[in-house]
Amino acid sequence: MEEKIGCLVIQNNFEFPPYAIMGNLDATLAGGHTRFVSALNLECAQRAASNSKLLVQDICSISARIGLDQWFDFERWFSYKINTSLEGSHAIATSLAAIIRAVYGKTRKVLVLDLDNTIWGGVIGDDGVEKIQIGRETPVAEAYSAFQQYCLSLRNRGVLLAVCSKNSEEIAKQGFEHPDSILKLEHISCFKANWDPKHENIALIANELNLGADSFVFVDDNPAEREIVRAQINGIAVPDVGSDVAQYAKVLEAGRYFEQISLSQEDYERAALYDQNTQRTVFEGKFADYGEYLDSLSMTAEIGRFQPIYLERIAQLTNKTNQFNLTTRRYTLGEIESILTDPDAIGIYGRLSDRFGDNGLISIVLGRRKNDILDIDLWLMSCRVLKRDMELAMLDALVQQACGMGIAVLHGHYLPTKKNAMVQDHYPKLGFEVVSQNPDGSAIYSLETKGFTPRNTHIKIMEPANE
């Protein structure tokens, strides 16, 4: 674990062990102990704030949530010298597992919401917008508003919100016009309200957002709907939230579905980026010729060697991108940092913007020189920018960098996974020739740099400001 994620520090609550409580610990000793523990925890927090490789697991908050009376187990202490109860140990393990999932990019990305009796009380089609329960007038209405506020807070840190409701779309959208509604239609990245089975609509949402179902969490007050979706969609998380809206956020937090170890600017802007993609799709329909559509986007790309300012985002992408990822190899921040000083490594990033907005840093290519051959260990791209020719622009930049290092041949590696079948012909499309193919689908492809002709024709390339 240490090799993969750096250092993980457990910030302990350092409560006195059971035998000390039973023995009525001297007040002077207790005061000194408390000051020491407070100083130690503060130092841990400060170090973690200044060192992105240092992760803190906050045991204090876990023990506070469970309650100290349920935190200690005297029998376990005397028998095994374990001072936490089974419930406490399970909570610590759940928290630690969530942190590790976040390090490996396994955090969920989309919260799919039912509407009636989920984000407002009542049935919009029967009660009308004026009678649904939301706002501050009653305790129940306030609980629905609090849950909406929780959902909005998730969106503000990069979680996409989607709607999946059995309803008339026109009527369903009226609920967001309620003057006390915290969630608005512009906060929803994908909206499905009809009478089709919910698992079919969620599959459509996944397709439109270009994300796998294992990125989704589905919340519905109806246990039958929850069970159907859970049974029909492999990988989706369907927590048993019950029917009490006051518990919905608590259940989601306990599941640690949206755990994050860092937040990049792209995380804060993710929902807006998906909204811009919707605008691009609508705009595309106005053109009969796809090349004209690409030109009309007025795309501009910044492509260059890895820079310190982008390293955290680069490491994040290597652990989150699964579909357009030729090898799905994962890299820690430390490993990415080492590339900056490795004379045999080429690491390039790509940012893309167009008339609708800035997509941010969305592509990475990483290779290592072996004599006059460059082995491409990693080639990935965000699915947000599929079919925009960004891979052509990245190839042009890669060949240019390789030629500057005296490299004659590029070797592209493809390692098949359950999710990256969409890029199995990536290298052949770019003009690489097959070197070897294995029965499991893995393959190596080759491209000579001599005589290479640049492929990109639709994207204007800007030089990085710091190069």
In the listed set 200, 226, 255, which residue is the last one of a domain according to the structure? 255
In a shared domain, residues 445 and 300: yes
- The confidence band for 30, taking pLDDT boundaries of 50, 70 and 90, is low
In a shared domain, residues 15 and 139: no
- The confidence band for 424, taking pLDDT boundaries of 50, 70 and 90, is very high
Query: Environment class of residue 444 by beta-carbon count within 10 Å: exposed (0-12), middle (13-18) or buried (19+)?
Result: middle
Q: Which residue is it, tokens 């919401």? A: 113
pLDDT digits (tens, 9 = 90+) for 368-401: 999 999 999 999 998 878 889 999 999 999 999 9
* Residue 250 resides in a domain: yes
* Residue 310 resides in a domain: yes
Residue 91 has pLDDT above 70, yes or no: yes
Query: Among residues 374, 378, 392, 387, which one has the least CA distance to residue 446?
Result: 374
In a shared domain, residues 380 and 236: no
- The reported pLDDT for the residue numbered 8 is 47
Mean pLDDT of 275-287: 73
- The reported pLDDT for the residue numbered 265 is 66
In a shared domain, residues 91 and 187: no
* Residue 264 resides in a domain: no
- The reported pLDDT for the residue numbered 220 is 96
* Residue 265 resides in a domain: no
Mean pLDDT of 81-86: 88
The count of domains in the chain is: 3
- The confidence band for 259, taking pLDDT boundaries of 50, 70 and 90, is confident
What is the C-alpha separation between 404 and 387, in angstroms, rounded? 29
Mean pLDDT of 363-368: 96
- The reported pLDDT for the residue numbered 16 is 47
- The reported pLDDT for the residue numbered 350 is 96
- The reported pLDDT for the residue numbered 103 is 79
Residue 20 has pLDDT above 80, yes or no: no
What is the C-alpha separation between 353 and 182, in angstroms, rounded? 31
- The reported pLDDT for the residue numbered 27 is 56
- The reported pLDDT for the residue numbered 162 is 95
In a shared domain, residues 193 and 213: yes
Residue 389 sits in which domain range? Answer: 292-462
In a shared domain, residues 148 and 184: yes
- The reported pLDDT for the residue numbered 413 is 96
- The reported pLDDT for the residue numbered 467 is 54
- The reported pLDDT for the residue numbered 26 is 56
* Residue 287 resides in a domain: no
Residue 21 has pLDDT above 60, yes or no: no
- The reported pLDDT for the residue numbered 55 is 81
Q: What is the CATH number of the domain that holds 248?
A: 3.40.50.1000
- The reported pLDDT for the residue numbered 390 is 95
Residue 83 has pLDDT above 90, yes or no: no
Collect all residues with Cβ–Cβ distance below 8 Å to 82 and sequence separation of at least 6: 73, 76, 89
Mean pLDDT of 119-148: 93
In a shared domain, residues 449 and 303: yes
pTM attached to this predicted model = 0.65
Q: Count CB atoms within 10 A of the CB of residue 387.
A: 11
In a shared domain, residues 447 and 307: yes
Mean pLDDT of 22-51: 70
- With a pLDDT cut of 70, the percent of the chain lying above it is 88
Among 19-33, 179-193, 283-297, the least confident range: 19-33
254, 333, 161, 276: CA torsion to nearest 10: 170
Among 44-48, 313-317, 427-431, the least confident range: 44-48
- The confidence band for 319, taking pLDDT boundaries of 50, 70 and 90, is confident
- The reported pLDDT for the residue numbered 62 is 86
What is the C-alpha separation between 138 and 31, in angstroms, rounded? 45
**Listed ranges 8-12, 128-132, 245-249, 276-280; the one with the highest mean pLDDT:** 245-249
- The confidence band for 14, taking pLDDT boundaries of 50, 70 and 90, is very low
Residue 29 has pLDDT above 80, yes or no: no
- The confidence band for 180, taking pLDDT boundaries of 50, 70 and 90, is very high
In a shared domain, residues 246 and 119: yes
Question: Greater confidence, 364 or 78?
Answer: 364
* Residue 274 resides in a domain: no
pLDDT digits (tens, 9 = 90+) for 321-361: 888 999 999 888 888 999 999 999 999 999 999 988 888 89
Q: What is the CATH number of the domain that holds 311?
A: 3.40.630.30
In a shared domain, residues 228 and 117: yes
In a shared domain, residues 117 and 250: yes
* Residue 319 resides in a domain: yes
Any idea how long the chain is? 467
* Residue 66 resides in a domain: yes
- The confidence band for 5, taking pLDDT boundaries of 50, 70 and 90, is very low
Residue 10 has pLDDT above 50, yes or no: no
Contact 113, 101 (CB under 8 A): no
Residue 143 has pLDDT above 90, yes or no: yes
In a shared domain, residues 406 and 443: yes
